[in-house]
């Protein structure tokens, strides 16, 4: 504002005074104070930034978790997302070799952008306009070079970073702050089934999952010979067993060749195995239907 000499109610205005009665020095002080208000107060103190600069990635995350007082990172999606936002920003700034003042202003810029979204409900367009105004004050385009915190290259890099970190995912951050999330509790009933007894005709439960054919052929012991003979006697009927009582001391296998005995035993064994296999298949089918019904219930839940 140009200075001039004029009349005032008390006389003349001294040279070096403006029409409002202020000196250029007071105007500069007011402008400096106004500039100092930009991105204030600082999001992180100089001491906190200095501590974090001495840490690795995990250390930076732990320090920010402490500074931001986040206590539910394992269960709170909002806290985890915000911590990732600030940690990523600080590590990016660390790669840019910023000074401590530049770290402070950049982290405050990140926080103010989220503050505008969370409290002022700024749209994406308004946030971009606000960023342009702030960068005009602290960037290379400011008329007072002493107040330029970032040079042209750094300012361009900051805008590019915000474009891919915040602005590209702006809808997700809006959802994070303004959309209520339901706590879904998923539960299911657990039924404990007892293994069938290991008595015949059920084979012992095997972890290897051996099929019944292999088990019955190579593992299961053959039935005793006296059981097969009793089975033959039952098939012959009570009328045919009467003569055997009279000749109990005679050999029961007299009159049979070895081939005939083997043939009869094979036939009896096959009949027993077929009946056992049929019964097992029926039980397996029943269990399979029960499991399918449970799976359908879980899908509906």
pTM for the model: 0.48
Question: 156: number of CA atoms within 13 Å, CB side?
Answer: 3
% of the chain beyond a pLDDT of 90: 18
pLDDT tens readout for residues 107-166: 999 999 999 999 988 999 999 999 888 888 776 654 555 557 888 888 889 999 999 999
Domains in the chain: boundaries: 46-178, 263-300
Q: What number is the average pLDDT over the span 97-113?
A: 90
H or E element: which one contains 298? helix 258-300
pLDDT tens readout for residues 210-266: 677 777 777 776 666 665 566 666 665 555 545 554 545 566 666 677 787 788 888
Q: Output the average pLDDT for the chain.
A: 75
Instruction: Give strand pairing partners of 8.
Output: 11
Q: What number is the average pLDDT over the span 267-291?
A: 87
Q: What is the pLDDT of residue 141?
A: 54
String of DSSP letters for 80-109 = HHHHHHHHHHHHHHHHTT--HHHHHHHHHH
Q: What is the pLDDT of residue 222?
A: 65
184 pLDDT above the threshold of 80: no
- Closest listed residue to residue 87, CA positions, set 136, 39, 52: 52
How far is it, in rounded angstroms, from Cα 48 to Cα 50? 5
How far is it, in rounded angstroms, from Cα 195 to Cα 162? 61
- Closest listed residue to residue 64, CA positions, set 87, 42, 30: 87
Q: What number is the average pLDDT over the span 70-75?
A: 85
pLDDT band at 189 (very low <50, low <70, confident <90, very high): confident
pLDDT band at 86 (very low <50, low <70, confident <90, very high): very high
């Amino acid at each position: 504002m140009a200075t001039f000499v004029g009349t005032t109610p008390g006389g003349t205005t001294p040279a070096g005074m403006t029409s409002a009665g202020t000196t250029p020095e007071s105007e500069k002080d007011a402008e400096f104070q106004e500039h100092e208000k930009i991105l204030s107060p600082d999001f992180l103190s100089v001491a906190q930034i200095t501590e974090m600069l001495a840490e690795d990635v995990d250390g930076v995350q732990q320090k920010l978790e402490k500074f931001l007082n986040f206590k539910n990172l394992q269960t709170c999606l909002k806290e985890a997302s915000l911590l990732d936002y600030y940690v990523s920003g600080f590590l990016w700034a660390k790669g840019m070799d910023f000074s401590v003042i530049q770290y402070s202003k950049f982290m405050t810029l990140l926080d103010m952008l989220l503050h505008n979204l969370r409290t002022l409900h700024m749209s994406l367009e308004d946030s971009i306009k606000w960023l342009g105004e702030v960068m005009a004050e602290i960037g290379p385009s400011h008329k007072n070079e002493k107040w330029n915190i970032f040079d042209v290259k750094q300012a361009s890099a900051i805008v590019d970073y915000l474009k891919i970190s915040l602005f590209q995912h702006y809808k997700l951050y809006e959802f994070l702050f303004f959309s209520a999330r339901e706590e879904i509790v998923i539960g299911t009933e657990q039924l404990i089934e007892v293994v069938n007894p290991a008595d015949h005709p059920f084979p012992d439960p095997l972890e290897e999952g051996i099929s019944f054919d292999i088990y019955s052929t190579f593992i299961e012991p053959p039935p005793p010979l006296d059981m097969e003979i009793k089975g033959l006697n039952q098939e012959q009927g009570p009328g045919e067993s009467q003569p055997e009582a009279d000749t109990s001391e005679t050999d029961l296998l007299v009159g049979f060749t070895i081939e005939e005995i083997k043939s009869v035993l094979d036939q009896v064994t096959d009949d027993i195995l077929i009946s056992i296999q049929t019964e097992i298949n029926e039980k397996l089918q029943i269990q399979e239907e029960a499991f399918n019904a449970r799976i359908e219930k879980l899908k509906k839940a």
